[in-house]
């Protein structure tokens, strides 16, 4: 038995894994479109067989998986204990904001509460989600004694307790809820790795290094911190990152307040800005007959037509030919190897071309591709830096070879191994 | 290496709006105009609309001054194309045939800035800087604000060759045709006809007549304010009123991305001189509320034309904008009919109640320390008397500036 290490990039919609032996030779390298599989099955199917000959002693993870909180909310496992009539507190600062946690898992309390009442409320929420095991307590105008009794009650019931240090401050409440929610997601990742590989040393990328100690350390911006460290190390001024999930520019600039989908959160983070058209924007015909890209990107499930299940045409589908020729990307979308899927995508773009009423020269697939590439190029231009100061990462950088013929295939896991 | 030369400088028809949007991404409210003063693109992301005001500011600069690429002029004079003292207009040239005009807010400015050069040939005007920014008690905030604006301008200025492309008359003509075609398409999909509405607001009669018609292949929208009363204390400049109406039309016709000169040319306004809706106010104090009144009236008329609710009575709805200012810190709030946004106030107040029940927000706040100012822009409607109110120490407040002391109590009750 020889020692081996495993690198994992766990994104919102895709994962990349790579195992290397002690001598640094590649034992396995694969990418997966996550809605069609899970980390658990990837590990069991592809990594477990390696353990017959190798001991996976270390696992290194960079993640953007916690972004799933955006679409699924924290709902799953976090209970909130709030002052009565503050159940809708996510609307106080902006009535159009999304709720960060499930409304059904809120326990409203007034100062005359009893432990008996608390017990009944806990039974109620446990019926909604029996697996709930984290509680955020955010109560203002309660005595210290009352707060301690509430906290003890949840500890006795085997809950992890997260207290909002400033109960009147909704910004602080959002931060506490994100901590609690991401803790659950992190536990899920760790338990799946341990279930498959026993007790390897698990390291998450935190700020500028891999860390073994990640309890109560928030990993929300792990992937951004990793990218930032990478381009700073290479002494670049600007990073262009184009992968399946987002097309962004990143500068060496941090911001203390994160404008999250749930409202502002005091969260020091590296700023990034979306550029080009979102890769998951839907390409469709507007009611007045012209071609448009949807403002809101499509959900990652079922994803693009490339993945074989969607009927919606997304921006990334326009590049199916280039993608089908790239080994890494074909692994993400194995159904692309089937001619039927390529024909289906091609005919979908023909339908879009014919649907453009009023236009003598409707936009065909070639023009759509040109526009998407040029738009990204123009947006880079607006962040003008000296050419040699620009780094370009992300699997889909190869789609933009016309703009930068020096782009080379990008691999998260190869980058991870460089930093171990 | 990333190579500018590989970019294809070609028009993509209606998709060109993506380029404009990216170009103006850092601005909340901005216009691109050509040498003839024709609006090419407008970005308006705030309730206090300055669409036409920006064009008026540009025309004033063009008439009296020479504007060269690398120059930025500023003004905030509500009697000369401005909106309020805290809203600064920036008028700049990008090329000989492309001009960028934008507005942005800074609560720390509460004095009039006549038309002045902020930047000349890419150099900050040191005289203006030393007269306006250096002596200001919030010098750092002021400097940061103006430096950021200059940076936004510079990032646009550097975007060659794209800038040259946008300046080409051929490209501009293609874009104008695209916008006109889109306007005609959307116009034909919606109802035509005539409707009118009268409203007494603060004892002043506002009369609005709306006509939407197609005659001899010409599609025209007419708004007639004839018989609206003369202004006394309460009034707003015609460009302020027009800005609000244009945004309502753009919303109605779904033309956000295509608002440009060919569309403006189809909108005809008739306003009696010196009326409530056509006389500039010295400080622009009533601009927020009169924009709100006109927007609501126009929306009502458009709905009447398009639906069967012709007999539905018009009911004015309260709206408010709140700006809390303490030294360099500013928090804002918008209380509207269907939405509510109030930034975190815990820095200034101790909240004693914050509750949302049956779509009704109730907040009670106690002021923590001295030196807090509340600027209120308030469209008050008696229809909402019991549903929406803002009080300081149990007394209802009106539009204007309010100084708050320690332990003063602010109450906000707002039904959505």
- The residues that bridge with B350 in the sheet, in sequence order, are B366
Residues of A (147-206) whose Cβ lies below 8 Å from B: 166, 168-171
Chain B, 221 to 240: residues with Cβ < 8 Å from chain A are none
Average model confidence (pLDDT) across chain B = 93
CA distance A55 to A19: 11
User: Distance, in angstroms, between A303 CA and closest chain B CA?
Assistant: 24
- State the count of interchain CB pairs (< 8 A) between A and B: 119
- Band of residue B3 on the pLDDT scale cut at 50, 70, 90: low
Sequence-distant (6+) residues with CB within 8 A of B5 are none
With a CB-CB cutoff of 8 Å, which residues 212-271 of chain A face chain B?
A: 240, 264
Sequence-distant (6+) residues with CB within 8 A of A201 are: A57, A58, A59, A212
Residues A56 and A4: their CA atoms lie apart, in Å, by: 5
CA dihedral B178, B180, B182, B188 (to 10 degrees): -150
pLDDT of residue A226: 96
Q: A382 and B363: CB-CB below 8 Å?
A: no
pLDDT for the residue numbered B125 = 96
* B206 to chain A, closest Cα gap in Å: 32
Tell which residue, A177, A166, A182, has the closest CA to residue A98: A177
| B5 touches A: beta carbon within 8 Å | no
Q: List all residues 6 or more positions away from A223 whose beta carbon is below 8 Å from its beta carbon.
A: A9, A11, A62, A63, A64, A205
Look at residue A361 in the predicted model and tell me its pLDDT: 80
Counting beta carbons within 10 angstroms of the beta carbon of residue B253, is it exposed (0 to 12), middle (13 to 18) or buried (19 or more)?
buried
Pairwise CA distance, residues A46 & A18, whole Å = 10
Contacts of B181 in chain A (CB under 8 A): 358
Q: What mean pLDDT do residues B115-142 have?
A: 95
Structural tokens at position B119 = 């930047």
Q: Given CB atoms, is B158 within the 8 Å cutoff of chain A? A: yes
Question: Which of A382, A390, A404 shows the shortest C-beta gap to B159?
Answer: A382
Q: Which B residues, 160 through 199, put their C-beta within 8 Å of a C-beta on chain A?
A: 162, 181-182, 185-186, 189
Show residues of chain A in contact with B18, CB under 8 Å: 277, 293, 375
Identify the three-state secondary structure at position B323.
strand
Residues 25-44 of B with CB under 8 A from A: 25
**d(Cα A323, Cα A306) in Å, to the nearest integer?**
9
pLDDT for the residue numbered B2:
61
Tokens of B212: 């939407």
Closest to B208 in 3D by CA, of B298, B288, B316, B295: B298
Per-residue model confidence (pLDDT) at position A394: 95
A288 vs B182: CB contact, 8 Å cut-off?
yes
Sign of CA dihedral B173, B175, B177, B179: negative
Decide if B7 and A277 are in contact by the 8 Å CB cutoff.
no
Tell me the per-residue pLDDT of B342-351, one tens digit each, with 9 for 90 and over. Answer: 998 989 999 9
Chain B (267-286) residues lying within 8 Å, Cβ to Cβ, of chain A: none
Residue B330 CA: distances (Å) to CA of B97, B98, B343, B345, B366 = 37, 34, 9, 10, 17
pLDDT tens over chain A, length 420 residues = 789 999 999 999 999 999 999 888 999 999 999 888 899 999 999 999 999 999 999 999 999 988 777 665 554 578 999 998 888 888 888 888 888 888 889 999 999 999 999 999 999 999 998 888 999 999 998 999 999 999 999 999 999 999 999 998 899 999 999 888 888 888 889 999 999 999 999 999 999 999 999 887 888 899 999 999 988 988 888 999 999 999 999 999 999 999 888 888 988 999 999 999 999 999 999 887 889 999 999 988 889 999 998 889 999 999 999 999 988 888 999 999 888 999 999 999 999 999 997 777 889 999 999 999 999 998 988 887 666 788 999 999 999 988 887 888 899 999 999 999
Looking at residue B200, what is its pLDDT?
A: 94
Strand A54-63 and strand A201-206: pairing? Answer: parallel
Strand order from edge to edge, sheet including B340-342? B340-342, B329-335, B319-326, B372-379, B400-404
How much is the pLDDT for B6? 64
Closest CA to B207 of B189, B222, B191, B228: B228
Quickly list DSSP for B33-91. E-TT--EEEEEE-SSS--HHHHHHHHHHHHHHS---BT-EEEE--TTTT---TTEEEEE
Q: Which pair of structure tokens corresponds to residue B170?
A: 């051929």
Chain B CB contacts of A374 under 8 Å are 7-8, 12
Burial call A240-253: b when 16+ CB within 10 Å, e when fewer: bbbbbbbbbbbbee
Within 13 Å, how many C-alpha atoms sit on residue B390's CB side?
A: 23
- Comparing CA positions, the residue from B112, B351, B309 lying closest to residue B191 is B309
Question: A95–B344: do the CB atoms touch at under 8 Å?
Answer: no
What gap in Å lies between CA B281 and CA A29, rounded to an integer? 69
> What is the predicted pLDDT for the residue at A358?
72
Chain B interface, mutation test: which of A87, A88, A92, most B Cβ atoms within 10 Å?
A92
- Closest approach of B154 to chain A, Cα-based (Å): 10
Which member of A88, A93, A374 has the closest CB to residue B343? A93
**What percent of chain B has a predicted confidence (pLDDT) above 70?**
97
Among chain B residues, the shortest Cα distance to A397 is held by B2
Interface test with B, best of A139, A169, A374 (most B CBs within 10 A): A374
How does DSSP assign A84-98, residue by residue? Answer: TT-TTGGGSSBTTPP
Contacting residues of B for A405, CB less than 8 Å apart:
1, 3
Residue B291 has pLDDT above 60, yes or no: yes
Rounded to the nearest 10 degrees, the angle between the axes of helix A339-354 and helix A365-381 is 80
Query: Which H helix or E strand runs over B332?
Result: strand B329-335
Residue A76: which residues within 8 A CB-CB, separation 6 or more?
A102, A129, A131, A132, A184
Q: Which pairing describes strands B267-270 and B319-326: parallel, antiparallel, or unpaired?
A: unpaired
> Contact B355/A85, CB-based, under 8 Å?
yes
CA distance A164 to chain B (A): 14
Restricting to A residues 320-379, those with a Cβ less than 8 Å away from any Cβ of B are: 358-359, 363, 367, 370-371, 374-375, 377-379
Whether the Cβ atoms of residue B412 and residue B356 lie closer than 8 Å to each other? no
Do B22 and A378 count as a contact with CB atoms less than 8 A apart?
yes
Give pLDDT, residue B46. 87
Q: What are phi and psi of A251, to 5 degrees?
A: -110, 170
- The answer to whether the CB of B375 falls within 8 A of the CB of B401 is yes
In this structure, which long-range contacts are made by residues A321-324, counting pairs with CB atoms below 8 Å and at least 24 apart in sequence? A322/A398, A322/A399, A323/A399
* Entry field: residues in chain A: 420
Own/partner long-range contacts of A274-277 (Cβ < 8 Å, ≥24 apart): A274/A246, A274/A247, A274/A248, A275/A240, A275/A247, A275/A248, A275/A249, A275/A376, A275/A379, A275/A380, A275/A383, A275/B22, A276/A242, A276/A247, A276/A372, A276/A375, A276/A376, A276/A379, A277/A247, A277/A315, A277/A372, A277/A375, A277/A376, A277/B18
Pairwise CB contact (< 8 Å): A388 & B1: yes
The sign of the CA dihedral B356, B362, B364, B370 is: positive
CB–CB contact A405 B3 (8 Å)? yes
CB A251 within 8 A of CB A382: no
How many residues belong to chain B? 416
Q: Of A93, A170, A293, which has the smallest distance from its Cβ to B341's Cβ?
A: A93
Judged against a pLDDT cut of 80, whether residue B304 lies above it is answered with: yes
Q: Which residues contact A195 (CB under 8 A, 6 or more apart)?
A: A40
Report CB contact under 8 Å: A288, B416.
no
Chain B partners within 8 Å of A290 (Cβ): 13-14, 182
pLDDT at A310: 85
What is the distance between the alpha carbons of residues A371 and A248, in angstroms, rounded to a whole number? Answer: 17
B98: left (phi over 0), alpha (psi -120 to 50) or beta: beta
Q: How far apart are CA A331 and CA A46, in angstroms?
A: 14
B350, B399 Cβ separation under 8 angstroms: no
pLDDT > 90 fraction of chain B, expressed in percent and rounded: 82
pLDDT at B331 over 90: yes
B163-213 pLDDT, tens digit per residue, is 888 999 999 999 999 999 999 999 999 999 999 999 999 999 999 999 999
Would you state the torsion angle of the CA atoms of residues A215, A218, A221, A222, taken in this order, to the nearest 10 degrees?
0
What pTM was computed for the model? 0.91
Give residue for tokens 């697996």.
Answer: A131
CB B221 within 8 A of CB B302: no
Instruction: Give the model's confidence band at B239: pLDDT under 50 very low, under 70 low, under 90 confident, else very high.
Output: very high
């Amino acid at each position: 038995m020889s020692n081996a290490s495993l690198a994992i990039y766990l994104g919102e919609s895709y994962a990349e894994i790579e195992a290397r032996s002690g001598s640094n030779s590649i034992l396995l390298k694969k990418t997966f479109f996550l809605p069609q599989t899970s980390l658990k099955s990837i590990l069991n199917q592809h990594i477990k067989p390696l353990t017959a000959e190798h001991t996976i002693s270390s696992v290194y993870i960079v993640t953007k998986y916690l972004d799933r909180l955006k679409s699924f909310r924290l709902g799953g496992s976090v209970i909130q204990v709030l002052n009565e009539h503050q159940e809708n507190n996510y609307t106080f600062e902006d009535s159009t904001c999304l709720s960060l946690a499930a409304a059904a898992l809120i326990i409203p309390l007034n100062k005359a509460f009893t432990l008996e009442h608390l017990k009944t409320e806990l039974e109620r929420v446990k019926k909604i989600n029996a697996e709930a095991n984290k509680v955020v307590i955010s109560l203002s105008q309660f005595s210290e004694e009352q707060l301690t009794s509430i906290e003890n009650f949840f500890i006795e019931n085997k809950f992890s307790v997260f207290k909002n240090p400033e109960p009147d401050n909704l910004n602080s409440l959002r931060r506490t809820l994100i901590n609690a929610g991401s803790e659950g997601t992190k536990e899920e990742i760790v338990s799946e790795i341990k279930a498959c590989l026993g007790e390897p040393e698990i390291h998450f990328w935190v700020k500028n290094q891999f860390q073994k100690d990640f309890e109560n350390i928030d990993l929300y911006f792990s992937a951004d911190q990793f990218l930032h460290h990478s381009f700073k190390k290479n002494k670049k001024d600007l990073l262009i990152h184009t992968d399946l999930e987002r097309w962004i520019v990143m500068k060496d600039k941090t911001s203390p307040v994160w404008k999250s989908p749930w409202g502002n959160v005091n969260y020091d983070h590296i700023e990034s800005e979306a550029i080009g058209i979102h890769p998951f924007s839907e390409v469709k015909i507007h009611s007045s007959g012209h071609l448009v890209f949807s403002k809101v990107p499509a959900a990652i499930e079922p994803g693009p037509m490339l993945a074989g299940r969607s009927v919606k045409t997304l921006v990334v589908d326009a590049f199916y030919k280039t993608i089908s020729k790239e080994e890494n990307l074909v692994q993400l979308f194995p159904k692309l190897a089937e001619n039927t899927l390529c024909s289906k995508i091609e005919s979908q773009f023909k339908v879009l071309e014919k649907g453009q009423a009023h236009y003598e020269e409707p936009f065909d697939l070639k023009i759509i591709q040109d526009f998407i590439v040029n738009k990204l190029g123009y947006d880079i231009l607006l962040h003008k830096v000296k050419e040699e100061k620009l780094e370009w990462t992300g699997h889909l950088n190869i789609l933009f070879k016309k703009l930068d013929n020096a782009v080379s295939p990008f691999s998260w896991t190869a980058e991870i191994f460089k930093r171990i | 290496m990333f190579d500018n030369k590989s970019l294809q400088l070609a028009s993509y028809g209606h998709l060109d709006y993506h380029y404009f949007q990216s170009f103006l991404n850092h601005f909340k409210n901005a216009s691109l105009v050509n040498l003839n003063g024709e609006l090419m693109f407008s970005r308006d992301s705030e309730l206090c609309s300055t669409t036409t005001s920006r064009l008026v500011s540009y025309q004033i600069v063009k008439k009296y001054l020479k504007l060269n690429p690398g120059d930025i002029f500023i003004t905030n004079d509500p009697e000369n194309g401005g909106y309020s003292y805290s809203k600064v207009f920036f008028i700049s040239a990008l090329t000989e045939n492309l001009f960028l005009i934008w507005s942005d807010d800074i609560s720390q400015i509460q004095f009039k800035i006549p038309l002045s050069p902020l930047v000349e040939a890419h150099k900050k005007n040191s005289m203006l800087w030393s007269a306006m920014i250096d002596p200001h008690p919030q010098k750092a905030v002021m400097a940061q604000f103006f430096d950021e604006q200059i940076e936004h301008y510079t990032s646009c200025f550097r975007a060659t060759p794209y800038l040259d492309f946008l300046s080409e008359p051929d490209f501009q003509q293609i874009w104008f045709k695209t916008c006109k075609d889109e306007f005609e398409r959307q116009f034909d999909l919606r109802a035509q006809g005539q409707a009118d509405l009268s409203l007494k607001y603060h004892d002043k009669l506002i009369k609005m007549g709306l006509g939407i018609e197609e005659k001899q292949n010409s599609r025209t929208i007419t708004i007639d304010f004839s018989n609206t009363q003369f202004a006394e204390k309460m009034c707003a400049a015609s460009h302020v009123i027009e800005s609000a109406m244009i945004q309502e039309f753009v919303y109605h016709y779904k033309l956000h991305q295509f608002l440009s000169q060919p569309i403006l040319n189809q909108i005809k306004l008739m306003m009696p001189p010196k009326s409530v809706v056509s006389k500039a106010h010295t400080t622009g104090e009533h601009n927020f509320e009169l924009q709100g009144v006109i927007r609501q009236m126009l929306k009502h008329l458009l709905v009447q034309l398009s639906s069967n609710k012709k007999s539905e009575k018009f009911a004015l709805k309260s709206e408010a904008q709140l700006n809390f200012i303490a030294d360099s810190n500013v928090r804002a709030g918008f209380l509207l009919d269907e939405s509510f946004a109030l930034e975190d106030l815990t820095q200034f107040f101790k909240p004693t109640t914050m509750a949302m029940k049956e779509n009704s927000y109730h907040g009670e706040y106690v002021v923590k320390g001295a030196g807090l100012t509340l600027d209120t822009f308030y469209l008050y409607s008696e229809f909402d008397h019991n549903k929406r109110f803002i009080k300081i120490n149990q007394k209802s407040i009106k539009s204007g500036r309010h100084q708050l002391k320690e332990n003063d109590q602010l109450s906000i009750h707002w039904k959505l």
